[in-house]
Structure 1
């Protein structure tokens, strides 16, 4: 094999150096066959990648001299593939740019369309979605000019995939439907099935389950003379089961989930199939759990856990342990539920750490690439200066003066750049330290609140108030997780803040024997899903209203919470119908602590050292104090 490669390599080199130049030569059939033969040798998986790169270089040189566009385009495309596998993504993109440039100059416009298509799919695979989208649009434009239904349909499908990656489901559906309309005019059954499966996936993501199901059924029925590929069956049946489950048709969902498992069993389980099998069995367990069939639910959850162990996927470990914990809780096996919940949390942390490590590795690669580029640039500049110096020394002595001046300016510029760089770096580090302090401050939860909450929930369990205990435990667990998760965020959605406030007050109601009620009002002009604000900023004032404002109230206490806009500024207001503000030290101390914490956080966000919390007593018609009101402005970000 090695001798054969060497012979072809030498022969191609001789062709490259002995051919005579002419204006736009037309490649002969012999030239085309030789180039394609050389391409097939380089494309053999048994060839060493470095050797393959050399053969492709020779093929590019040969194809350029012979004006054989296809040989140039294909060689650059395969070089891009090899470079990407080796982690050299920037060089791979450069190769694809050269392939596109050659196709633009070439006579065969179908080659241009196909290289745009390939480049789009390539950049999508490596998460370069903006470049993928640009090439997909160009592929469609080129395909429309050729006016070939199958090719245009294929390019429409690629553009739809790019829209899907951007989260633009309406456009993704639109272009998938355009592709299917064109592919139906051809006899390409395989391409039609691929497009229908892709469209059904987008509709599932968009929540259009009935449309997705209709498309999946068309794939299932299909052309009886051309059966569905066996490797596509698990995806098809699994998605059909998911659609039926989402539509509330549990019997049909179970049927299709079981069909999925039968197909996987026949095909044998590689890692991808093991993950699919674990997902399907977790879904079956969920259905049986909702139906109260605990034995079947436990059976499928345990089988899902075993498949996850074989596939070694932390995400499915987390799901399986979480489901088994939920089942144990419903069966009142609280100790087992707790142990399973701990295992779920362990794998949840594992998934989170894995994502963080991947992000750090990505940043590290980017930093190393930039560092190498900077070194190369400095090296190039140094070589240029050295060559210029040698040349100038032979001609005029006064050039030395200009060279010295240039070096001096370069050094001064470098020193200024380094100064600004390290100054900016110190500012960034200082800001990070402030953010860290702020996050630590947010994550502090009152131990008395935690222990009292657990004691009260335990009391409900002892009093056989299982439903109330489950409800409060769910809210308490959710509140705890919300606080821990949001401690890593500088801003959260207003809707998330409202949910945290509600969970917090409901737990407080339990602690205070339901001696008060509450209302939360958000002005209609405020979009809860578009406003971002610092998390748990309002909690100290709500706690103050409950703990001190209603301290002398035994029943019919009321806490009114309101978010409203005033002159494009967001305000928070909490009102209680308690004793109002007085001069006691205890209230003043609590109030000053809350104000200090809030001011410290707000100063960090707004850089405004004059932040004021407005406090007022509410008086009735007899001028008697009937409650207290606290309000202040909240910094926010509007995200459209």
Structure 2
């Protein structure tokens, strides 16, 4: 019994702790290319407050430490930021319009016998079973020769609908825009506004809904636009504007006797009042929605009851909540179809779980236990692992609180197995999602390629038509035109050649810029740790040692800065740099390792050149990730030799714990940190080899068969 109780105590301690107090976070969003502020950007705390940037790009939002800040707009990729303190945040973004996606063209074997409508019909029939197949059939439809702009608009609209079904709202936005580009349609524009909303681009959604209200649209479309605008205002916490739109929608539906719509609107009005903290008006609107829902037995009425029950739960009116949820269970049996997914609130396992939770909150354990058990059984039958897991945990806690430790332990063991099962299932879902995303990306690339081919073919057709007209003119005009075409072709070739040379020069310039940036990045860990070492010497009044260390460190930094503009330096200079660096590391960690640095006497160090500070990250890795974790004192050996007249070989060998064990011994915090040293080396070597030929090669191996020790072999070629 005591063991069981201790297990529950540990389990409870593993649950998330209460977050700290709210702070005000200030920041700005800036275009990285123009340095201009970006207004009307959606700023949101996940599960918390929402705001937008002003005309000056500035924003202010309430948050807590460790909250996730989301910066979202249709004009750039969504950015995420974890709040660490109340310092100002400067978010630099790059406009998507300045980036060009490059896709590899995929060879397509289309069925020329199948019609455009045939492909679209297959896509409509299959996409709910297999999203990627649906997209594939749309690509085949777009391959059919001679389709009209109207047909192309229909294909892109269906493609966007499939994206929406798969919750890929960013792709849906792009494809709805492509459809509207071919043929404008009010219905598609409304879908685009909804896609903006689903993608949390609330400002874009509001702007589009407002523009749609100025157009001539049908009654149903007008109702959808008004309600959609209210939903967008509600998500941006502009509750008064949202209520205004919902009441406007309610007024235009009052004569049509659409009870389900009126019920839904009053529920949303109640949620707005609840968000404003006006509990009196909130419960009044909830009651109105309930009265309307009693006029019909529908899924909409059941959802209204669920929303009201959730409100009773938040306000701790548990008796009212239980009563409503029991009515919802009856509605589920009568009106809710089997097509409702486990994610939906209208499932019997969820409602039984919430009834049990309400009883538990009232300390009515005997009444709660049967509902938890019923929720577990129903969740197991419907393969709802989340509810089954949560209900099992709560049931275990109730048995524990009643002192029935045997049943508590039994339920707890079942809960642990469900947690493992849920983890495995999520791993599988993530794997499937990654594969599906890759498959869909390839098919989207195919569609983009088809669109480019279509534009090219249209240009070819126009050119052929003009040539036909030219052939019907007089011989003199024909010769003049042919001559003009020849001149044009030569001009195009010259232009293409000039662009090719310009592209090569630009690539070379980009490589130089990249190298300059990479050379400027010396590992900050060494710099910070070196300064901390000086600080520690000063703290213990060891001024002489601090001055000596700082002098050596300054000498190394001076040498690094002197070589920072060079792609290659003499090998002799690099040897001096690595001697100074290794001496400083040994000075700090004398108790951790000894080292030797040897240079073969036949090595002609002045005939070979090497990128500056190329060896430093490998030596740092040997010290920090190899020998630092070793219990006994380690040995680092750096050796410079000459293989032949054109090849020099440098080896950095340590007898540390090895790469695999070093990874395993890292703390969680160390695993989260991402060293840039090795990445910079790979980038520098790749760029230099591209610019100057393959002059540098690196190989990393284990020293011993048990995986301990690391050997880095670096090969240099003469230019």
Give the alignment's TM-score, normalised by structure 1.
0.45
Q: Which structure: greater strand fraction?
A: 2
Q: Which structure: greater helix fraction?
A: 1
Give the alignment's TM-score, normalised by structure 2.
0.41
